[in-house]
Every structure is written in structure tokens, then in C-alpha cells.
Amino acid sequence: MPASSLAPSTSLASQLRSRIEDHTASIGIIGMGYVGLPLALLFTGERFHVTGFDVDQKKVDSLCRGQSYIYRIPSAEIEIAKDRGFRSTSDYARLSEMDAVIICVPTPLDHHREPDLSFIRSTLDSIAPHLREGQLIVLESTTYPGTTEEVMVPILESKNPRGLKAERNRENRDDTFYIAFSPEREDPGNETISRRDIPKVVGGLGPDATELACVLYRSIFNRTVAVSGPAVAEMTKLLENIYRCVNIALVNELKLLCLRMGMNIWEVIDAASTKPFGFHPFYPGPGLGGHCIPVDPFYLSWKAAELDFHTRFIELAGEINTAMPYHVVDAVSSALNHCGRTLPGAKILILGVAYKKDVDDLRESPALTIIEHLQKEGAVVSYNDPHIPFVGQGRKYDLQMKSVPLNDLQSYDCVLIVTDHSEYDYSRIVSEAKLVIDTRNATRGNSSSNIVRC
């Protein structure tokens, strides 16, 4: 829809729009992780006054020193941002100085595989005392449809000491703040698409909120896509990731069938990909990882259950993908048996624990589940990952393991490729290892008898 049709009508909205368009607005970004830090750098690059907020003092201190803790973001970019005025802090009282606040905090699943909004709720509790009229608050964290209106708005309206209200229908009030949802679309490790070229979906609680958020994001993204409200934007994000989850589940199930039929699923996918229409390739693996794809189906299923609706198709896809790490463990046990070894006591080297190639992100990585279950079966497990030197305690695991050098591969009973990082010399690995189990088709083209593809 044309920007002119959404032009802010109230003086508060007009003032904020002018500051954004002049790049004099102060922007606070809460959560300096894989989403928030790149976003802060984009805004800083456009000469906005940007402050990064995080409860993790180690991250704050690192940024204050100009040091990056994310593999794909060099420290030089942090130093440049600092020279342009970027600051980081754990002092949430400074939120009162911000014209726009963008929330980029985790939204994991709890132990019952239900939405855990504790990070969002605690962040809103921190914002509310410092909320002021005319501020724009945008949530980017992936969540279920309705979160913005059912969780964000009540907390901010009930807990701010000035009695401020969220704009809903272009009310001409001087006690208004603005609320919007704009899903993050980060793709760690993707170097083919510039962040600026990824369209930004925006849904505001009212027309002014939508337009203000569009103006804000238009300053760093080449295209914004306005939708009718926050719930539509929330559902858009879930659809994008559930689409991937369902299709990956399909090829994972077909992989298991192809293994029984003595076929190579990767060859099948390559052949199908020659069709110039009606087919998009997805690839199997040892399980899903990352923050979004393994989590989003359960967010939607949980919300659907409130409406007495059973998302059977989506839940089945989630079950198939969740089972893949256990298939890998079974494949390791079977391969060792064929070599005259048993899983208990076997020395196993895991190659790659990041959830995808060439990133340093452990979130929901299937490698962690695989390691835990191999250890439970009595295997002696080590790992190597050029991007993750140490695996400590996480939300669901406590491994306390260090990455080991890729030396003396002959000393391991099995080398298990879980994440196909580009740094690995797979020809050398196959030539030196007794047994290689490949879950990523990393050894494609190599017909050595010591390779088992699963």
C-alpha cells in the first residue's frame, strides 16, 4: 500500500517519523545475539544513534572493547560501529532515552515442548518502567500468533507508571506508544543474499505503528512489506519455517526408505532438481537445528490447541525430524557391529557440532542430542569443530567438552560427520579413518569402502 495512505496523523507519530527520516532517532536493540547485533550494525551504518542492551555482561564488555563473539561478524565491524557512536550496556534505565526499541530475545521451548516466553516477559518488565509517550516498540522474536496483542500490550500498559496506552486506531492522544511485530529473517552463514535485500515484513497494532515501523526498517532494508496486523506478521514467520520443516521431514523420511531400498537419496534429489518447475530441493540430515525451524511448529501447534484445532500434518513433520538423531545413533551402532565392534567403549569422533555448516551457532543442534545418546550407550565421544572450541552447559545439556585436534584419526573406531563445515578435508578424513559415517553427503563422489552414508 502507498506510504502516503499510512502517513502518521498524530503529532507524536509525526515527530517520531521526522526523527527516523532524519536519522536523528535513538534506537535501542535488546538482545545482542545472532539477530540483534547484525541489526545494530545495520542501523549504525546509517548513522543512527544505536545502543545495544543485553543482560549478559560478558557480551556487553566484549562490545565495549570492540570485540566480536560471533564468528561471521569480524571485530573490525564492531570497532567501526563504535567510531560511529554505537554503545552497549546492561543498564535498562537507558531505554527511556530511546525513540525506538527493538526486542531480539530468545523464544525457546520449555521441557514440555511448549512456548517459553520468559525472555520476552522479563524484557517487557524491564521496558515498562522506562516507557515514554511516542516510543515505538517492535518485537522481532519468533513466537505464536497473538503474542504481541495478548502478551506485550497488557504487560506494557499495566506496568508502565505513566498510564500510557498502545495506539490502536489512530487515536489522537498524547499518552500513546506504538507497538509492532516484524519477524527476523536471519540466515546464518548465507553469504549470497545481502541482509538489506531481504524484505522486512511489518505488522503494527494500529496504522501509525505500522507506518512508523515501515519507515524505521526502510532506512536499512530495500523493501518493507506492511500487513494488516501483528498476528499476520507472526503467522508469516511461522509459515516460512514450517514450510521448511515439513519439506525437510519429507526428505528425511524418504532417506530412510531409500536406505532400505539400497538407493542414494542425494542422487534422487539431484535428479529431481533438474525439473525446471514445480520442485524445490530440500536435503536430509541428522536432525534440525537453529532457533526457528525445530521450534516454530510446536509454537503453532500449542496455539492451535487453544482453539481446539489439531495440526496433525505439522506435528508429524516435527516428530520425524526429532527422531533423526536417534536414527544416526542406531546407524553408528550398526556400522560398528559390522566392523566387529560394539557401541559401549567405542571411541567416536564427531565432526561438527554447530547446527549448520560454517556457523558458530549451537542452538538446538542435533549434534548435542547425538553426543548425549552415544555417551548414554557407553561410547567414548570427542568432537572437533573449527568454530566452536568449547561446549558447556546449555538449556537441555551439560557436556563440558573441548574441541580436539584432527590428529591420529586412526585412533578412533568411528568418525561421524554431523556438520559439513567447509574447512574439513574430507578426502584426507576418509583416507585416514577406519570408519566414516556421513550424515550430510559430505563425502559425495568418494566410493571408499569405509564410508557409511546414513
Residues labelled catalytic? 292
Residues paired with 203 in a beta bridge: 181
Q: Write the CA distances from 166 to 12, 155, 161, 236, 365, integer angstroms.
A: 12, 11, 14, 23, 38
Q: For residue 290, give the nearest of 429, 422, 190, 155 by alpha carbon.
A: 190
C-alpha cell at 179: 507497538
Residues paired with 390 in a beta bridge: 402
- The alpha carbon dihedral of 442, 447, 451, 453 has a sign of positive
Return d(Cα 203, Cα 227) in angstroms, integer.
5
Return d(Cα 315, Cα 301) in angstroms, integer.
7
Residues paired with 61 in a beta bridge: none
Return d(Cα 240, Cα 300) in angstroms, integer.
12
C-alpha cell at 368: 548435542
CB-based burial of residue 192 (10 Å sphere; 0-12 exposed, 13-18 middle, 19+ buried)? exposed
Cβ neighbors of 283 (< 8 A, separation 6 or more) are: 248, 251, 266, 269, 441
392: number of Cβ within 10 Å? 11
Return d(Cα 332, Cα 416) in angstroms, integer.
8
Return d(Cα 213, Cα 201) in angstroms, integer.
10
Return d(Cα 164, Cα 172) in angstroms, integer.
13
* Secondary structure of residue 224 in the 3-state scheme: strand
Return d(Cα 340, Cα 65) in angstroms, integer.
54
Q: Can you list the pairs that 169-172 forms with residues at least 24 positions away whose Cβ atoms lie under 8 Å? A: 169/206, 169/207, 170/9, 170/10, 170/206, 170/207, 170/208, 171/10, 171/206, 172/9, 172/10
